[in-house]
Chain A
Amino acid sequence: MNEYIPVLIMLLLASATSIGMIVATTLIGPKKKFAEKMQPFECGENPIVSPKLRFSVKFYLFALFFVIFDIEAVFLYPWAVLFKELGMFGFVEMMVFLTILAIGLIYVWKRGALEWE
């Protein structure tokens, strides 16, 4: 556990740097507020719609794919570390697993979920 102490020191220093920058920029500098200026930027027009409306479901789909395939990747890490000790048996086992996931990828691909139209 000892080797995590430097990480903790680093994290504290980094947080201090970031917080210091945020505090500095909040304190220093002019503060002039009027209604037109405080509007969100919309190329000089009055904003017509709020951004918090519907958006394309595609982004949500890709987040789901990420969860599926990243869990696969996480599962591969311990296997990869021990790969040389596991030898042929481990290799074949993992290739079976990867084939099943590749079939999943092909299915998603053929259903057109990876297309952006």
Chain B
Amino acid sequence: MVADLIESIVKILFIFGVNIGFFSPILGWVERKQSALMQDRVGANRADIFGYTLIGLFHPIADAIKVLTKEDFIPDGADRLIHTLAPFISLTPAIVAFAVIPFGGQYELFGHRVNLIIADLDVGLLFVFAFASLASFGAVLAGWSSNNNWSFLGGLRASAQMLSYEVVMGLNIIGVIMVYGTLRLSEIGAMQVNFFDWGIFLQPVGFVLFFTCAIAENKRAPFDVAEAESELVAGYFTEYSGLKFVMFWMGEFLEIVTIGGLVTTMFFGAWHLPFVSDQMLLNFFRFAGPNGAAILAILVNIITFFTKVIFFIWLQMTIRWTLPRFRYDQVMRLGWKMFLPIALINIFITGLVILVK
């Protein structure tokens, strides 16, 4: 019992460190640097310590200090309570959603069974969706409470867009569940030992739909109509400043990481290297003794998983800076008139193929 508690606290601290300590500050820098590279600019390179700029890597620290010393602004006529609550609702679920995503297999370590997932829930996928959809409340409440026309329009757009894409996302996940027969993400990951059992080969359409819908759900370009800066100033967070503004951004970055983790787990073999099972890793590291082999295998698992996640983060960043923004009616048409029928047909075809096999 004590060992279980220690194990889960270590895992929680690890995920917190990776997500909040590493990904959320670094992604702000990555986004600026990547946009600069793609637009042939220099990008963030001014913050320095003793003259060393380190290709702009000190910018996250400078940003943090700057944002901390900004005034917290709530406009007249705004609903102060909801205005404060909205960033809380955006950020908290985004942090928690990662809890059910496995970042490694199960190993015997010092006589204790270590399962590299914070909470191995039997409703894992539903849990992720439940928490990810809570974030839409944040956008809607922020838009509603700001007493600002731009915020209000942004909140409205965000609500209808996120609701639409949630339907499609929920439906195209059905195909994945039919193939694997479980909602437990660690089982879905464990079933992808064989390279040709990876979700991308079993559900190629599902992957494309899921990835696109996830970007739309996260309101990032080309689907960022809810915060379109050329139309709505900054959309639903126009009236936010200081750390509250940062909380919306952090929520968005953490959702990028969560989407990367979900895509990796469901479609790209989770923590598995191609053609390598956990048992093969343990055999390969036999020279280090049973515990050493387990530790080395865990390290390989974690590195493999996060390399894949980082690839999908990079992909989302590249998509954001490559494609122009859709118009709002185009976004809605894409969701309801193209993706929804395709998702329904995908369920039908998946069912047929499984039954024929």
Contact = CB atoms under 8 A, between A and B. Distances in A.
B170 to A, nearest CB: 4
B71 interface: yes
A98 B348 CA distance: 9
Majority SS at the chain B contact face? helix
B257 interface: no
Contacts of A21: 87, 91, 243-244, 246-247
Interface stretch (B190-198, B215-223, B299-307, B337-345): B337-345
Interface in B128-166: 146-153, 156, 159-160, 163-164, 166
B75 A39 contact: yes
A30 B12 CA distance: 35
Interface in B311-357: 328-329, 332-333, 336-337, 340-341, 344, 347-348, 351-352, 354-355
A51 B91 contact: no
Interface string B103-123: 000000000000000111100
A83 B175 CA distance: 10
B105 to A, nearest CB: 17
A11 B92 contact: yes
A9 B9 contact: yes
A73 B183 contact: no
A63 B163 contact: yes
A18 B92 contact: yes
A91 B355 contact: yes
B88 to A, nearest CB: 5
Contacts of A17: 20, 91-92, 95
| Interface size classification for chain A | 35 or more
B141 to A, nearest CB: 14
A3 B121 contact: yes
Residue among A62, A65, A80 with max Cβ neighbours from chain B (10 Å): A80
Given A25-B242, A76-B171, A83-B351, A109 B337 contact: yes
A111 interface: no
A73 B341 contact: no
A48 to B, nearest CB: 9
A101 to B, nearest CB: 8
A82 B174 CA distance: 11
Contacts of A73: 167, 170-171, 174
Given A21-B243, A29-B70, A15 B163 contact: no
A11 B355 contact: no
A25 B243 contact: yes
A7 B242 contact: no
A95 B349 CA distance: 11
B244 to A, nearest CB: 6
A10 to B, nearest CB: 5
A26 to B, nearest CB: 5
Given A14-B95, A59-B160, A83-B351, A70 B166 contact: yes
B347 A11 contact: no
A29 B72 CA distance: 7
Interface stretch (B31-39, B42-50, B76-84, B269-277): B76-84
Contact of A116 (B11, B153, B167, B328): B328
Contacts of B149: 40, 42, 47, 49, 51
Interface of B: 4, 8-9, 11-12, 15-16, 20, 68-72, 75-78, 84, 87-88, 91-93, 95-96, 99-100, 118-121, 126-127, 146-153, 156, 159-160, 163-164, 166-167, 170-171, 174-175, 177-178, 181-183, 233, 238-239, 242-244, 246-247, 328-329, 332-333, 336-337, 340-341, 344, 347-348, 351-352, 354-355
14 contacts: A6-B99, A7-B118, A10-B95, A11-B96, A14-B91, A21-B87, A29-B72, A40-B77, A62-B160, A76-B174, A80-B177, A83-B354, A114-B332, A116-B332
A-B pairs with the 5 shortest C-beta distances? A116-B329, A25-B243, A51-B152, A73-B170, A14-B95
Interface of A: 2-7, 9-11, 13-15, 17-19, 21-22, 24-26, 28-32, 38-43, 47, 49-52, 55-56, 58-59, 62-63, 65-66, 69-70, 72-74, 76-77, 80-84, 87-88, 91, 94-95, 98, 101-102, 105, 109, 114-116
Given A77-B177, A101-B344, 15 more contacts: A7-B96, A18-B87, A18-B91, A21-B243, A25-B242, A40-B148, A40-B149, A49-B149, A51-B147, A51-B148, A55-B156, A83-B178, A105-B340, A105-B341, A116-B328
